[in-house]
Structure formats: structure tokens, C-alpha cells
């Protein structure tokens, strides 16, 4: 065993004396982040060079999605408690994370159709459609669809997690409750709606948001919340578009590995808007 003297070693190699170099009995950067697990998880199923890109892009995306869910779920709880201000920081962070996810498609687009076809068959029926975290994000934003849970029946733990999320209020449901808590009239059927259903536009909700936007000083916190929601809704649509565009660039209109219609399915998803009244009110202001 090498006998390490921190000060002598640092001086010898030109390091600052206070830099710690002996981690035999202490936690290191690698151990804190469990890099042994993370960096050993890129197991290619082919010998093709570019499969590494494909794996890392999707693994990194799942980590960013985990952080989005961490922030959005905390924001929902803040809003339900009528404690709006902490949610603003959380939602600002979400929109920045979404920018990272959007940018990742430009990296994946360096994968050419010929290169992808060299290992695509190794995926079997594995597909991004099966990303349960992406589905949880869609649920948290209000795009609920019980039929999508069928894809996750093979994993009871994930299936139950998705089922719970399906029946919980989305961040928009929480925002509408915040409108009602401030005395803005909201139809009771909206407040008592089945949260497992995709939200449908409502005239009383649009009128409430119009009141907020016409009286910004009086309802500054609700106005700020609305704009944070517009930010994350816009970014999610950009992510969807870049996803569709990248898939079209790499596989054209082939069917997805999971059995979907591929680009056609992704284009239909672009028609599913989040927080509808926050968009329609702009025409009426």
C-alpha cells in the first residue's frame, strides 16, 4: 500500500496543498454519483459503433425526465397548498431541462439511416413509446389516456405507479383549483371532474384566466403561474416536434419498433395541446 502524504504529494505534482487526494476511507466523487453503475450500463447488443450514441442519448433523456418529474410533482403540491411562489422556481427549472431534452435530438440526428439499420433489429419491440417516465410527464401535464397503461402490464410496479398518476390531478388541475381558491368562478363540474380523463376546455376557466391577465397587479402570482405553464407547454410541444422530425430523418415513415405507425403517430401527438385556455385567451385579450 502506497503511503500518501497529501501535502507532500500535492507539492510534488504542482497541486494546491488543500486539494484532497486520499480517498481510501472517504467518499469520492465517483462513489457519491455511483458512476460504476451508471457508466457500466451502456451494453451494446451489436458491434456497431453508433449504438453507443443511441443508448446514451436515451439513458441521459431518462435521467432528465426523472428530474422533470421531481420538480413538477413538487410544484403540483405547492400549488394545491396555495403556496404558488416556490413552484415558479421549479417550473423555470423544468423548462430549462426541457431545452436539454430538445437539444438531444440534434445529437441523435447525426445517426444516419444506414447506420441505424445496422443495429435496429437488435431492439426487437423495445421503443421509446414504452418510456413510462415520459408517460408520467404527459399525465402530469394533463394528457391522460388509460389505454397507454396496457404497454406496462408486464411490470406491476410501474403499472401501479402509472395508474396512480392517471387518477391524480395534473398541474393544470392544480392551477384551476388555485383560480377557484382566489374567488374566481369556476364551474363545479371542472373542479369535481374525473382526473383520469384528458382535460377538456371550459368557458369558465377561460374567463377566469382572462380576468387574471386583465388584472395582472391584483393576480400577479396567478399570472406568473400561467406564464410558467405556457413555458413548459411550449417546450413539450417543441420536444415532440423535434422527436418527430428526428425519427422522420432517420427511418422515414417506417413503423416504429414498438408497433406504432412511427412518424404518423408522432404527428398526431402534436395536435394534443396542453393548458388550452392559456392559448385561446390570447386572441380575446
70 labelled ligand-binding? no
Is 273 annotated among the ligand-binding residues? no
58 is in an annotated binding site: yes
Please tell me the distance from the alpha carbon of residue 114 to that of residue 130, in angstroms, as a whole number: 24
129 annotated among ligand-binding-site residues: no
Is 56 annotated as belonging to a binding site?
Answer: yes
* Whether 201 contacts 191, CB under 8 Å: no
147 has binding-site annotation: no
Rounded CA-CA distance 209/235 in Å is 21
76 Cβ contact partners less than 8 Å away, ≥ 6 residues apart: 87, 140, 169, 170, 171, 174
Residue pair 198/145 in contact by the 8 Å Cβ criterion: yes
What is the full DSSP assignment across 48-68?
A: -TTHHHHHHHHHHHHHHHHHH
C-alpha cell of residue 125: 419491440
57 is in an annotated binding site: yes
- d(Cα 222, Cα 279) in Å, to the nearest integer? 15
Q: Pick out the residues of the known binding site for heme.
A: 243
Q: Pick out the residues of the known binding site for substrate.
A: 54-58, 116, 120, 257
Q: Pick out the residues of the known binding site.
A: 54-58, 116, 120, 243, 257
Amino acid at each position: 500500500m502506497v503511503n500518501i502524504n497529501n501535502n507532500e504529494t500535492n507539492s510534488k505534482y504542482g497541486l494546491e496543498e488543500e486539494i484532497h487526494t486520499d480517498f481510501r476511507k472517504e467518499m469520492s466523487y465517483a462513489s457519491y454519483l455511483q458512476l460504476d453503475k451508471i457508466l457500466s450500463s451502456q451494453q451494446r447488443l451489436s458491434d456497431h459503433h453508433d449504438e453507443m450514441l443511441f443508448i446514451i442519448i436515451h439513458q441521459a433523456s431518462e435521467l432528465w425526465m426523472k428530474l422533470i418529474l421531481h420538480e413538477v410533482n413538487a410544484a403540483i403540491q405547492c400549488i394545491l397548498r396555495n403556496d404558488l411562489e416556490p413552484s415558479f422556481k421549479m417550473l423555470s427549472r423544468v423548462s430549462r431541462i426541457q431545452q436539454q431534452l430538445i437539444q438531444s435530438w440534434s445529437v441523435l440526428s447525426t445517426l444516419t439511416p444506414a447506420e441505424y439499420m445496422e443495429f435496429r433489429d437488435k431492439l426487437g419491440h423495445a421503443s421509446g413509446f414504452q418510456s413510462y417516465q415520459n408517460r408520467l410527464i404527459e399525465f402530469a401535464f394533463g394528457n391522460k389516456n388509460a389505454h397507454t397503461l396496457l404497454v406496462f402490464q408486464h411490470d406491476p410496479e410501474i403499472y401501479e405507479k402509472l395508474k396512480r398518476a392517471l387518477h391524480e390531478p395534473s398541474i393544470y388541475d392544480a392551477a384551476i383549483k388555485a383560480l377557484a381558491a382566489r374567488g374566481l368562478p369556476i364551474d363545479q363540474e371542472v373542479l369535481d371532474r374525473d382526473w383520469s380523463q384528458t382535460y377538456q376546455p371550459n368557458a369558465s376557466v377561460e374567463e377566469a384566466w382572462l380576468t387574471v391577465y386583465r388584472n395582472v397587479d391584483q393576480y400577479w402570482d396567478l399570472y406568473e403561474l400561467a406564464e410558467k405553464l405556457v413555458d413548459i407547454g411550449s417546450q413539450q410541444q417543441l420536444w415532440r416536434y423535434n422527436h418527430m422530425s428526428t425519427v422522420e430523418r432517420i427511418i422515414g415513415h417506417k413503423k416504429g419498433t414498438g408497433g406504432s405507425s412511427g412518424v404518423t403517430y408522432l404527428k398526431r401527438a402534436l395536435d394534443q395541446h396542453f393548458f388550452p385556455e392559456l392559448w385561446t385567451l390570447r386572441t380575446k385579450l
